[in-house]
Structure 1
Amino acid sequence: MRTVTEELRERGRELAAALAADGVAGLIVAWVDNNGIPRSRTVPVSTLPQVAVAGVGVTTLFAVFDTNDAITFAAPGLGTASGDVRLVPQLDRITRLAGQPAFAWAPGKQVTADGGPWAFDQRSVLERVVAALDADGYSALVGYEMEFGVYEQAQVPEDTALLAAHSGPAYSPHALLPIDDFVAAVMRDAEANGLRLGQVHAEYGPAQVELSLAATDPLTAADQQLLARQTILAAAEAHGLRVSFAPLPTLAGAGNGWHVHTSLWRGDENLLAGGPEGPRGTAGAGYVAGLLRDLPAVAAVTAPSIGSLARLRPGFFAGAFGFWGVENREAPLRYVPGSALLGEDHANLELKVSDASANPYLALAALLSAGVAGVEENLVPPPPVAQDPGTWKKKERAAAGIAKLPGTQAEQEEALVGNPRVTAALGEETLGAFLAVRRADAAWAAERDTEEVLAAWRWKY
């Protein structure tokens, strides 16, 4: 019987031969740091037999890179420049990139030098949470709506002006005509890359487009969100365009939310099934209540950047206040009921306080942990809100128990550190590194106005 190492090496040989026969030169092994920024190593496909077993070396300090690529040594366990881990491609997720035919892509997992678990690996955090859900008899489906701005390339590198590649009207087919070839390439390449799209359309803001990914299991959803970025950026580059996934590319423009739709299942039963009043069963209600209870801490992970905080403005469908509603697009937690047309299993809960600056693995780990805790504790949510509390007086919001979500890094940190469920899901080491880079970003931003910060991070994600 072959050992695991021998099986991995043989699988690497098979993949290397198949990729080389298709004209693929390199494999991009990607992961996401604590700022939501994709990082990668690219290896020749001929090395796959070795890389499949031992990975490729990367510094431990990627866990404490801030958004400006500066390194903070303020996280426990990552206080020096010494140390290395191995980045191992997930072989079952290798995808030949339709928009970059000389390359294939795979998500990577960071392990210790002896192949053991590394405490700061974000993908492993979500793996643990999914395993815990499975042990308790639950599963989840996750789908993303990804908003982004599409702009003309600058004529000279020094030109920082944003020239919209389309100018609307919002949601109109006319809006996409100027970028027709780009949109067609995204759709073709996404399908070739194994991404199931729900729809693509012009969004509300000038230059804005939205793409939705079909729901799948949490790990696949996080991986595919990362693959979708690569797919979109490659199509934009091929068509002379620039894409910004930033939560808020500029104060004058629309924000880009990456809304997360989740449903919780027990066997074949969608626990969120229900109608216009909300989830029918106590478990679905508990899921809503759990997320609502922990929303300030969850948002600190799902919308963690200075750009995220600038985006959370009342009246912008961003979810600035802590409440839930049925089909209420101003609610940070928007319940989407099933229907006779779509079926009861269509029911899901949308988190609007989510964007590209979140690490998707940590974001889903926080979200699912909070929701399932509400189910296990039989929590009951308050009545859903159909209005926009941003138009209410403060005393009206206070009477309804509705508070504004944290608006500064310090407020987010306080909410996160004080939440035992979300901190337990992340783990002590990951939490320490995450907070270290949040503080580094906040310190850098404190010396600059918001527009300068947004401009500096516009193309990072």
Structure 2
Amino acid sequence: MTKAAAAVAKDLALSGVRGVHLSWADNNGIPRSRVVPIHGLAGAAARGVGATSLFAVFDSHDAITYGHAGLATPSGDIRLVPVLDRLRRLAGQPALAWAPARQVAADGSPWPYCQRSVLERQVAEAGRRGLEFRAGYELEFAVAPAGSTDVVAAPGHPGPAYSPHALVGLDGFVAALLHDFAANGLEIGQLHAEYGVAQLELSLAATDPVSAADDQLLARQTIHAAAHAHGLAVSFAPLVSLAAAGNGWHLHTSVRRRGRNLLAGEGSPVDLAGEGAAYLGGLLRDLPALTAVTAPSVPSTLRLRPGYFAGAYAFWGVENREAPLRYVPGSALLGPDHANVELKTSDASANPYLALAVVLAAGMAGIEDGAPLPEPIAEDPGGWTAGERETRGVLPLPATPADQAAALLASPRVSGALGDELLGAFRAVRASDAAWAADRTPEEIVAAHAWRY
């Protein structure tokens, strides 16, 4: 490992790279990093780089909470170890490279708060069950001139939504994204002007779950650098305005057994049956708890409103964009492997490794238990009366931090996937965020989170 790292470092140094970001995401979905000089890469690969253990209990505003007993003092260090096979030179920052980092204990042993390791455990468990997962993200973000504090007051493009005209003024930025993503080893499915104020969306190609989470972090770095180079700033926040559509980071997953996509259905798209139906049934069963991890911030709860394609109620539908679980079937044109399920209650405030870990855990539990799947819903339940929703068993998703905390604890499948230690740290961080927000208006909350991600 050390020899391989030294060889890679030598090649990068010869091409002008001076340092490497060792990157991870905290329990608020905020990327953190340490930069090591290129000559220090081999040492970092062998021994890691020191960091405080308290990153596990940073809240969304960089306050440290001591509300979790396992990390209740300022004492303690961990090591950040780069994952060398994911090392990339950053096309938009040519003096720097990037690699995801594992968090290990000071002696090199596993550390229970490492989010990447939580996902790796779920992938390993899937392998033991004969299952293989694919995952991919759609990333929505708002664009503004650099230095702006308000996307609505100074939008980066004027619209119209989905129009090529909206992108003309962003031509250099769009070209840089297409170039830098390809150079950084990231495959874009499509890129377009989205529905929200100055909003863009791009989709990442599906891959294995750990790579999908890594790709999500690398994509953020790539987008921020390209925006900066073109006099822009981007906001990945769940909301940039209470009156506008929010930024979802929609998570698409599919599951295979012996190479067959279990979500391919049995003839008709709505004939989802067997293990595929049970997978979706497992996600639906645990959707309130999943949302507490995949859309965990206070602005997340403000984004999940009816009529905004965000998912406010617990139900599923076939290509229904109001459904938090949107089943996307295969077709004669696309083939059965195209079939997947999109989780819309997902945003940039979620740690991508934890988000995928709990989705895999809930889905696998559904397959194991044969979780039932009710009939799909094609309408928007937000337009129904409360009585109609109750009759159909369509309940609102958690709308407050307290509701999220209760939902998470009510699901042993989701909370158990995190492990006791990380669950404790995650809950402490969410409680710290809730206390910060308690005496602030929704407008103040949105503004304070707009540039955190």
The interval holding the TM-score normalised by the smaller chain is over 0.9
Instruction: Name the structure 1 match of 2:205.
Output: 214
Q: 1:200 and 2:191 equivalent?
A: yes
Alignment coverage as a number of residue pairs: 452
Q: 1:36 and 2:25 equivalent?
A: no
> Take 2:145 and 2:119, find their aligned partners in 1: how far apart are those partners?
37
> Take 1:281 and 1:159, find their aligned partners in 2: how far apart are those partners?
47
Instruction: Name the structure 2 match of 1:11.
Output: 4
Q: 1:330 and 2:322 equivalent?
A: yes
Deviations 1:223-276 (A, max 9, x none): 000000000000000000010000001212220000011001112100000265
CA-CA distance at 1:331 after TM superposition: 0.2
CA-CA distance at 1:330 after TM superposition: 0.3
Map 1:21-420 → 2, pairs under 5 A: 21-154=14-147, 162-274=153-265, 276-278=268-270, 280-420=272-412
Correspondent of 2:451 among 438, 443, 459: 459
> Take 1:440 and 1:393, find their aligned partners in 2: how far apart are those partners?
35
CA-CA distance at 1:423 after TM superposition: 1.0
Could you say if the C-alpha distance between residues 325 and 161 of structure 1 is closer, same or farther in structure 2, counting changes exceeding 3 Å? closer
Q: Does the 8 A contact of 2:401 with 2:434 survive in 1? A: yes
- Which amino acid is 1:268 matched to? G
CA-CA distance at 1:9 after TM superposition: 1.1
For the residue of structure 2 that corresponds to 1:437, the secondary structure is: helix
CA-CA distance at 1:277 after TM superposition: 3.9
Q: Does the 8 A contact of 1:287 with 1:374 survive in 2? A: yes
Could you say if the C-alpha distance between residues 160 and 292 of structure 1 is closer, same or farther in structure 2, counting changes exceeding 3 Å? closer
- Which amino acid is 2:45 matched to? A
CA-CA distance at 1:280 after TM superposition: 3.4
Q: Does the 8 A contact of 1:259 with 1:351 survive in 2? A: yes
> Take 1:48 and 1:398, find their aligned partners in 2: how far apart are those partners?
57
Instruction: Name the structure 2 match of 1:3.
Output: none
Deviations 1:196-218 (A, max 9, x none): 11000000012000010000000
- Runs of 5+ consecutive residues of structure 2 not aligned to the other structure: none
Q: Does the 8 A contact of 1:76 with 1:429 survive in 2? A: no
Q: Does the 8 A contact of 2:151 with 2:197 survive in 1? A: no
Percent identity over paired residues: 62
CA-CA distance at 1:281 after TM superposition: 3.0
CA-CA distance at 1:279 after TM superposition: 5.2
TM-score normalised per structure 1: 0.96
> Take 2:164 and 2:373, find their aligned partners in 1: how far apart are those partners?
39
For the residue of structure 1 that corresponds to 2:72, the secondary structure is: coil
> Take 2:147 and 2:357, find their aligned partners in 1: how far apart are those partners?
38
CA-CA distance at 1:450 after TM superposition: 1.1
Q: Does the 8 A contact of 1:175 with 1:202 survive in 2? A: yes
CA-CA distance at 1:278 after TM superposition: 2.9
Q: Does the 8 A contact of 2:151 with 2:240 survive in 1? A: no
CA-CA distance at 1:180 after TM superposition: 1.0
- Which amino acid is 1:455 matched to? A
- Which amino acid is 2:385 matched to? K
- Which amino acid is 2:262 matched to? L
CA-CA distance at 1:454 after TM superposition: 1.1
Could you say if the C-alpha distance between residues 412 and 27 of structure 1 is closer, same or farther in structure 2, counting changes exceeding 3 Å? same
Q: Does the 8 A contact of 2:143 with 2:151 survive in 1? A: no
CA-CA distance at 1:159 after TM superposition: 7.8
Deviations 1:22-66 (A, max 9, x none): 100000000000000000000001011211111100000000000
Deviations 1:99-131 (A, max 9, x none): 000000000000011111001111000000100
Q: 1:428 and 2:420 equivalent?
A: yes
- Runs of 5+ consecutive residues of structure 1 not aligned to the other structure: 1-7
Q: Does the 8 A contact of 1:100 with 1:234 survive in 2? A: yes
> Take 2:271 and 2:138, find their aligned partners in 1: how far apart are those partners?
22
Q: Does the 8 A contact of 2:142 with 2:151 survive in 1? A: no
For the residue of structure 2 that corresponds to 1:340, the secondary structure is: coil
> Take 1:195 and 1:267, find their aligned partners in 2: how far apart are those partners?
27
> Take 1:351 and 1:175, find their aligned partners in 2: how far apart are those partners?
27
Correspondent of 2:439 among 429, 437, 447: 447
- Which amino acid is 2:227 matched to? A
For the residue of structure 1 that corresponds to 2:250, the secondary structure is: strand
Could you say if the C-alpha distance between residues 276 and 167 of structure 1 is closer, same or farther in structure 2, counting changes exceeding 3 Å? farther
> Take 1:93 and 1:154, find their aligned partners in 2: how far apart are those partners?
32
For the residue of structure 2 that corresponds to 1:28, the secondary structure is: strand
TM-score normalised per structure 2: 0.98
> Take 1:345 and 1:131, find their aligned partners in 2: how far apart are those partners?
22
> Take 1:133 and 1:369, find their aligned partners in 2: how far apart are those partners?
9
CA-CA distance at 1:219 after TM superposition: 0.1
Instruction: Name the structure 2 match of 1:4.
Output: none
> Take 1:159 and 1:210, find their aligned partners in 2: how far apart are those partners?
19
For the residue of structure 2 that corresponds to 1:145, the secondary structure is: strand
For the residue of structure 1 that corresponds to 2:71, the secondary structure is: coil
